Amino acid sequence: MKNENPVVWFEIYVDDLKRARKFYETVFKLELNELPMPDTGEDSMKMLFFPSNMESMNSASGALVKMDGFKAGNNSTIVYFMSEDCSIEEARIAKAGGSVFKSKLSLGDYGFMVLATDTEGNMIGIHSMK
């Protein structure tokens, strides 16, 4: 078996797409992009994509998703975002409308992490090696 990352996509479900967009763009200093959904006659899903290269192997990308019938904050999966130093993003979380659940914590040889709750009630992680 190849030792490769099998994760290629993630979705963070939100109740308020505009509010969630502001949170993620503020904390991670990036721009989310709207991609028109295929015309299926159904308008129950809207997505904002994180910057990515869909051709890149062994790297995950994803989107904020607003979908009828799926409430934010009810899942048990935590997506970890890469960081140079997770204390930088930690300092932006409260100003962006979220809250820090666990402040920067050493993982020994495996670096550091921060756990936070976004504006939609989703738990996210931020990981860095310093």
Chunked mean pLDDT (size 10), the chain, 130 residues: 72 94 97 79 80 73 85 83 96 98 93 95 94
DSSP conformation class of 55:
T
Q: Is residue 26 part of a domain?
A: yes
- pLDDT in the model for residue 57: 64
Distance, CA of 109 to CA of 107 (rounded, Å): 6
Q: Is residue 25 part of a domain?
A: yes
pTM: 0.82
Q: Are strands 61-67 and 9-13 parallel, antiparallel or unpaired?
A: parallel
Q: Is residue 52 part of a domain?
A: yes
Q: Is residue 87 part of a domain?
A: yes
- pLDDT in the model for residue 14: 95
Q: Is residue 2 part of a domain?
A: no
With beta carbons less than 8 A apart as the criterion, state whether 67 and 13 touch.
Answer: yes
Distance, CA of 38 to CA of 108 (rounded, Å): 45
- pLDDT in the model for residue 77: 82
Based on the structure, what is the number of domains in the chain?
1
- pLDDT in the model for residue 40: 64
With beta carbons less than 8 A apart as the criterion, state whether 102 and 125 touch.
Answer: no
- pLDDT in the model for residue 22: 97
Q: Is residue 4 part of a domain?
A: no
Q: Is residue 40 part of a domain?
A: yes
User: Which CATH number goes with the domain that contains 67?
Assistant: 3.10.180.10
